[in-house]
Amino acid sequence: MQAYTALLRNYQELNSNTINELQKEDEQPSPLEFMRHVARNRPFVGRGAARAWPAVRKWNIAYLKQRMAGRKVNIAVTPLGNADAPIEWIHDGGVVSKGGGGGGGGGGGYIFVQPSETIQPFSAFVDGLMNGMREGEPVAYAQSQNDNLRNEYLCLFPDVMSGIDWARIALQREPEAINLWIGTEKSTTALHKDNYENIYVQIIGQKHFVLLPPIEGPCVNETVMPQGVYEQVMGEGGQNVWNIKKLDQAEPIPVAIWDPDNPGQRASKYSALSCPLRVTLNPGDMLYLPSTWYHKVTQTCGPEGICVAVNYWLESPGHSYVQH
């Protein structure tokens, strides 16, 4: 523990506990400047860097519904807005329930839960978000993460950039995926990491990021757990209730169970050493989130009751992360 503590403290002394912001409003980095951030494996924010995008200037509910008229989309549905997240569970015969929610005495622990998915008209999905979804109703989120902006949302694609030029030139790669995210403050993203360089652009509302560098991996208390998926089943009174179906064919995966916003819970012996970085993106802001950085995301809606963002995933160049 002493060796890791010394290593982490040294890293934290050499690197700021705030996220670097480009010096000028609306500024975008050159490919060389971007590559310096990639080489150091450090994030940055460009305030207003996407302000001139048609999406930032034009998108509102009326416009989105008009462009998406007659189209159906894939929607993630969860009871609490906690898709792709670890929860405590009780296991009984292939079906699991949230800890304390029944399920018998068949064992327990943590399980990584994916959302239920449904196909519905885009207009109905957005109307539900705008109306705030009544208390107790499932939480809906457009978060398919499968290059959806170049597929099911293709009619909106001309309003964003087909690529981020300075990232494409620096990494010599086109985006692996370009994703659209539409939801409300009821949807949250648990602490996790991705193996892609991520350029995140806020369109409507705000996104609030909590970021941890890869060196803080021992702080997040990664725990190997099975995978499951939310499903609605018929309860004793004939009403629909939420259960979790364990995916027996899916390999167990390591998942962070420590939450930097609740530091006293699920902590490892190193969690107290963590120094999370925090940043809020406003419409038109752009965040570079390096590969393998842990991040947790919450959101605040815009005036019409929705939050919209776009992200670009690019394959990591496989560089070694050297700090200077």
60-94 tens-digit pLDDT = 999 999 999 999 999 999 998 998 999 988 765 55
Can you give the pLDDT at residue 112? 96
Q: Return the structure tokens found at 316.
A: 């990591």
CATH classification at residue 274: 2.60.120.10
267-270, long-range: CB within 8 Å, 24+ apart, which pairs? 267/221, 268/218, 268/219, 268/220, 268/221, 269/1, 270/1, 270/4, 270/5, 270/8, 270/216, 270/218, 270/219
Task: Characterize 51-76 residue by residue with b for buried, 16 or more Cβ atoms within 10 angstroms of its Cβ, and e for exposed.
Answer: bebebbeebebeebbebbeeeebbbb
* 108-113 average pLDDT score: 89
Q: Which residues contact 20 (CB under 8 A, 6 or more apart)?
A: 37, 42, 43, 44, 45
Residues 152 and 73: beta-carbon distance below 8 Å: yes
Can you give the pLDDT at residue 176? 96
10-27 tens-digit pLDDT = 999 999 888 999 977 777
What's the order of all strands across the beta sheet hosting 277-281?
189-192, 294-300, 206-212, 277-281
Can you give the pLDDT at residue 135? 63
Residues 285 and 217: beta-carbon distance below 8 Å: no
Q: Return the structure tokens found at 145.
A: 């993460």
Total structural domains within the chain:
1
Closest CA to 189 of 139, 241, 124: 139
121-140 tens-digit pLDDT = 999 999 988 876 566 688 99
Q: Which amino acid is at 208?
A: H
Say whether pLDDT at 305 is over 90: yes
Q: How confident is the model at residue 319 (pLDDT cuts 50, 70, 90)?
A: very low
Q: In angstroms, how far is CA 125 from the centroid of its own chain? A: 20
* 258-267 average pLDDT score: 96
Can you give the pLDDT at residue 235? 72
* 217-236 average pLDDT score: 91
Kindly state whether residue 241 falls inside one of the protein's structural domains.
Answer: yes
234-253 tens-digit pLDDT = 777 767 788 899 999 999 99
Q: Which amino acid is at 174?
A: E
Can you give the pLDDT at residue 133? 59
Kindly state whether residue 321 falls inside one of the protein's structural domains.
Answer: no
* 91-111 average pLDDT score: 55
177-206 tens-digit pLDDT = 999 999 999 999 999 999 999 999 999 999
pLDDT above 70: percentage of residues in the chain: 90
Kindly state whether residue 185 falls inside one of the protein's structural domains.
Answer: yes
Q: What is the DSSP pairing of strand 206-212 with strand 277-281?
A: antiparallel
Kindly state whether residue 322 falls inside one of the protein's structural domains.
Answer: no
pLDDT above 90: percentage of residues in the chain: 79
CB atoms within 10 A of CB 193: 18
Kindly state whether residue 285 falls inside one of the protein's structural domains.
Answer: yes
Kindly state whether residue 320 falls inside one of the protein's structural domains.
Answer: no
Q: Is the pTM of this model over 0.75?
A: yes
Say whether pLDDT at 266 is over 70: yes
Q: How confident is the model at residue 256 (pLDDT cuts 50, 70, 90)?
A: very high
Kindly state whether residue 46 falls inside one of the protein's structural domains.
Answer: yes
Supply the range of the domain harboring residue 308: 2-315
Kindly state whether residue 94 falls inside one of the protein's structural domains.
Answer: yes
Say whether pLDDT at 281 is over 80: yes
